[in-house]
Structure 1
Amino acid sequence: MSKDALIIRGARQHNLKNIDVKIPRDQFVVITGLSGSGKSSLAFDTIYAEGQRRYVESLSAYARQFLGQMDKPDVDLIEGLSPAISIDQRTTSRNPRSTVGTVTEIYDYLRLLFARIGRPHCPSCGQPISRQTVEQIVDQILALPDRTRLQVLAPVVRGRKGEHKRTLEEIRQDGFVRVRINGEIREVTEEIELDRNKQHNLEIVVDRLIVRDDIAGRLSDSVQTALKWGSGIVYIDVIDGEELMFSENFACIDCGISMEELTPRMFSFNSPFGACPTCEGLGTRQEIDPELVINPNLSIDDGGLIPWRDSKSRWLWAMLESVCKKYEIDTAVPLGELPADQVEILLYGLGRELISFPYTNRAG
């Protein structure tokens, strides 16, 4: 069997005229030609058909009875043929997240395979990840520096859409005082309204502690409560430090690194739990090129901000004028002479800071 090429000899399927072809393996190969020249006959009716036929023949007699048997294509020899996948031209998607695996649905089975039989290992030391007991979790927390302030959190909603009113009501009835919703601490007595169409993270603030030698009993009770509400997972939010995660399910005993139990969504780039946090599973990301946005030789009044130069939107101009007024940005000075922090505001905005500005539409 050829290891570096797919060799086809004497292909006569449909309109192929006894051709011999050698196609390199592990490379992107395009078959092109005039209409009726035999492209589909070679790719689909010869190469794919033979690959599918060999695959079906490798199955048991019981399994073969449920699959259609394909005829052997009219060809003398095919060597170096791997299992073949054929994608219908009519089902291709323009979604940038689509791949050969997702279009053929093989990706779904691979995710299930990795989630069900996969064995997690510590990314630091490489040892297999094992479960942690309450005592082990407490010992690791008590190993933090003395006087460390922390919160014991129980994750009850992780990346799920909905208003979660019933969950919040159960938390209130059980006597808890605070929750953390999407990173923000809220009192449970507040009127909490969540967008039902957005994903939310909700954790119960089970306890607030300062690390000392005499808190072991209280800490153990709090950890057990958090594990119960968090389905075996507890977060330790170290004030002015990193957030730690411990699990009754999987954790490295040597390094203390914890993981959630393997689920199919961890292996999906379409899920925020499996996607790259930088590109969000798209493989690309958008960034601002300052040279395409500003002309350093012109002021804002003279059209130095290129996106605003031809804009007739009174809304955009009102917003820009308010920002310039609040941060004392001189609109008559060339942008190249403005302080760097002012240019930063014009390019990237104000972060989470909000400002109000007057705006009157054409209707008054």
Structure 2
Amino acid sequence: MRGIDCSIPHRALTVVTGVSGSGKSSLAFDTLYAEGHRRYVQTFSSYSRQFLERLPRPPVDAVHNLLPTIGLAQHNGTNQPRSSVGTLTEVDDYLGLLLTALGTVHCPQCGQLVQPETATSAQTQLEKDFPEARVILVAERPWDPEIPRSEQLSELVRGGYRRIVRDGQIVELEGGEIDHFEVLESLPLVIDRLIIRDDDPRLRDSLESAFRIGRGEVRVESPDGETLARWKGDWSCNRCGLQLNEPTPPLFSFNTPLGACSTCSGFGKAMGISREAVVPDPGLSLSRGAIVAFAGPSGSAHRGAMLAFCERHEIPTKTAWARLTEQQQTAIFNGDDQWKGVLGYFDLLKERHTERDAMMHVAKFRAYTDCASCNGSRYSVGARNFATCIRGANIGELAAM
């Protein structure tokens, strides 16, 4: 490209066009982009410039009024099975950051709101639930496996922690045999004995010490040994003790082992029984053989059990499969205690994996379907436990929007 002299207006869409080899890329990228980038980099300090891309000066006589430039080059797109619009545009990354900062989680076992407790939240709860109560503040001190337990006991005594709670009684660490304490799984250290009063700085200081010494696990007992409250500084349920994952960006990415569904490994699909293969003609009713897996003499017993199941659950057998509700179709596939359903039928065949005919029959109805564990969302149970401030949706539901 030689002898070019042109003027390109600012704040306008200018198209550089021409036949192949005429110098379009040389003008746009090798000249305009390179010079604009070079001038922009020159505005930084010498220290900062060492971390930035340095482009050579293009072979031009002069370029006037050139603004800083951005180059968008064309590349072949990646074709990975885990790629989605959310991952390619990095929207999923921002959703993960949103959940890390604002996500809330309820225990999937008991429904309790789970969040790490702090000294401030613990003090607020005690002042509300046990005003003017005489309590014992206990920190469950775990053993450090790298240090002999006798040394840890001596260090705690030197630090002023001389009592533990054992079998409902307060025991002096200095007065007993060390061997008696070393067998404990952890040391229930007595941090303080006090009366709960509003805005008491002593209570706040003692709670902070308890969370620090107990490394997050603290409980409050009455003088007769009753546990009044218990807290953990991690993401575990205070009611049932279920341990949940701490919200971090890797948890909300199906491209990481932590965030990916353990069944489908983050692909959203798993090899299973395809409903479309089992019911190829949804216009047929159950009585007319909609479930083709039960066709033939070998499936007559299972077909009879299915019709009996439908009678128990008041599912019409002379109505076309397509006109049954989603709940009715799912019930036929899942079954009940008396009949294990269509899926149970295939599970029985899989147990006969040494029989070639049985496995060939199963193979006819297998296909990649939405993962039953994550419903095709790709995310792990730990990630799906967290709800956002957007209508309470979890990361999988947001990504599917």
Q: Give the TM-score range, shorter chain.
A: 0.3 to 0.5
Which has the larger share of helix? 2
Higher relative contact order (CA 8 A, sep 6+): 2
Larger Rg over CA atoms: 2
Give the TM-score, by structure 1 length: 0.38
